[in-house]
Amino acid sequence: MPRKERLFILGLPQIIQLQGHNKCDLFTADEDYDYFLQCIDKAISRYGGDLHSYCLLADKALLLITPNEKENIGAIIQHVGRRYVPYFNKKYQRSGSLWEGRYKSCLVEPENYLLPSMHYIESGGTLLNVAAADYRWSSYSHNAGLVSLPRITPHAEYNLLAKTSLQRGEAYRRFSHKPIGSYILQRITECIHQNTILGMAKFCQQLESQLQGNVRPRKRGRPRKNYNISEQQLNFIETKIRLLCQQYSYTEIKLPIIQDVAYTPELLSFSMSPQRLTSSNDQTILSSDGSLSCLQFVNQHPTLLQGSRIWYQGPIFRHAADQEDRLEQHYQVGIEAFGWSNDAIVAEQLQLQYELFKLLALEKEVELRINYIGSLSEFSRFRNALTAYFQPFSILLDSQRQAWLATTPEKLLVDYPIELKPVITQAPKLNQFLTGTAVERFQQLQQLLNDMGLPYIVTPNLYPASHYSDLLFEWHGERIGAHSLLCRGGRYDEFLSQTMQQPSNGCGFAFMLDNLIKLLVAEGYRPGEYYDYKIIVIADTDIDSALGFYVCRQLRRSFSGVAVVFDCADQLAIKRQTHANKKSDNIIVIIHDDEFINLELICKQQHEVGLSLDTIRGRISHLIQR
């Protein structure tokens, strides 16, 4: 079977991994590490390229290099092997290969994954058991601004961290302070072992179109083509979210599907694509954005602006991607908070989202992307600069992109013809328009997320889909392909203040339940695993029925999202139990006396007797939140 050809795209850095044969040591003494680095220096000097970071472990070497030509990486590794392997074999009286097969590699999208890749390398792939600053054989001290290593050439994306080397080192230290998220770690590992590209979905799609081949890592098995969303699956997700909202003190509200916007036309601009219905006055729309519906609700109840937490669920409608005249129904759950100016409320909402992914066992399959776009005026200046910059190249754009140029030119930085790549590289950057106060605010949020242990990746090309300002965030699950968006949100204080004509604070987000269910199914969940629990309370025939009603009330208070039924049929308890057992999702609680310390619990191959009511609550809580 022929070997897979290595990917090469001029200008993209590559992660290189050299492993010791049979995991044997590559380095034993300090002079071994020194000599290996000398070999790297001579190879790069001879064949060309830039070394951005490295880490040498006893049995592994990790490098981040941008080669000048396709053959350079291979030539560099060959040069190192021809010099270092004979040196090592002679010194330690051994023979044969030192490397474990071919070197492993992956290309890196610099804009979003350069810094995570440097962090991964300088932490030894998270294998280092000492602080990075104290480890001699990595480039961390240089990139953190603590020492100067001539062999290191900073990448252009690293230079964007700050204006001076001292400030860049400080910014990189802050970035490296947080641990690498499990999702990022898994993606980097997969890309290295499969020789693919570590990049965002749109970036990889563009390259796949250009190269006519796959550039992303693949999971085992054939990918699913169809995902049928069932009522059972929706109930399963909504129950999980309802319980979380109760724990975080959010109150549910009901929003209409069809809305009259005659009295609040200024709110309509919050949604980028309202789906209009035919009406005599053109003032009736289908709900296409839950946040828009929520803002209309708040406009009708302005006291909520003083401090409230609300959540909603229901369908939204969007034009089909392939047929503009056809509407598609999607499912959404949204959460909004009003009245808090501190970004701690955003951090709390991010924690709630991460908590849901952990409950669904998806925390290793999702990625949180955050960005700071500044105030509306700062972002407007950025847009104007982009419009002026791209105007001379408008003849190269299709009709869709020319429309973006007039309204949302930042989309061109994400979705552009490949021949415009050199133009995109030189385009104005958002951070050039942000004030020092804005940058400091974003740094404070990042520090808060680091302290919370919440993994994220700063994504400079994350731009608003609605009229958000300041902070933006999205959760993605690349496993389900191009439509990977699971959750989106941010702050919209300025828009809210302008439309409400008073100082107001608002932030929120929405879960895209369709995509969330697709990811669950892709990860192996089956319809039978989406439990629709019901608690059946049964009392012995000689027990007063009032006791059964009391137990039901207590259980309803504890589990508001679960149906609790008191079976008071005129039958023997054993017959009622047999009938309740016919549905596997039923949880049966049997009362044997009036002390509530001798309750019986039957559910899913679990049968316990002699339990107290508090113990019953704990058992049920553990079961329904698995």
Beta bridge partners of 588: 536, 602
Give residue 79's pLDDT. Answer: 93
Query: Among 318-322, 362-366, 463-467, whose mean pLDDT is lowest?
Result: 318-322
Give residue 299's pLDDT. Answer: 81
pLDDT, one tens digit per residue, over 505-526 is 999 999 999 899 888 888 877 6
544 or 234: which leads in pLDDT:
234
- Domains of the chain by start residue, with CATH: 14-211 (3.30.70.1290), 231-375+435-523 (3.30.930.10), 534-625 (3.40.50.800)
The full length of the chain comes to 626
Residues 6+ apart with CB under 8 A from 534: 562, 563, 564, 565, 583, 585, 586, 587
Residue 413 in contact with residue 424, Cβ under 8 Å?
A: yes
What is the pLDDT confidence band of residue 228, given thresholds at 50, 70 and 90?
A: low
Mean pLDDT within 130-136: 71
Indicate if the pLDDT at residue 28 is higher than 70.
yes
In our burial notation (b when 16+ CB lie closer than 10 A, e otherwise), range 248-271 reads bebeebebeeebebeeeeebbebb
Residue 53 in contact with residue 122, Cβ under 8 Å?
A: yes
- Above pLDDT 70, what percent of the chain? 88
Residue 52 DSSP SS3: strand
**Number of Cβ within a 10 Å radius of residue 45:** 10
Residue 226 in contact with residue 234, Cβ under 8 Å?
A: no
pLDDT, one tens digit per residue, over 246-273 is 889 999 988 777 666 665 555 555 555 5
Indicate if the pLDDT at residue 364 is higher than 50.
yes
pLDDT, one tens digit per residue, over 45-102 is 999 999 999 999 998 999 999 998 888 888 999 999 999 999 999 999 888 889 888 8
Give residue 311's pLDDT. Answer: 92
Two tokens, residue 340 = 């808090």
In angstroms, rounded to a whole number, what is the distance separating the alpha carbons of residues 93 and 580?
Answer: 74
Two tokens, residue 147 = 């020492």
What is the pLDDT confidence band of residue 1, given thresholds at 50, 70 and 90?
A: very low
Give residue 585's pLDDT. Answer: 77
DSSP 336-402: EEES--STHHHHHHHHHHHHHHHHTT-TTT-EEEEEEEE-HHHHHHHHHHHHHHHGGGGGGS-HHHH
pLDDT, one tens digit per residue, over 11-21 is 899 999 999 88
Mean pLDDT within 185-205: 85
Quote the mean pLDDT of the chain. 84
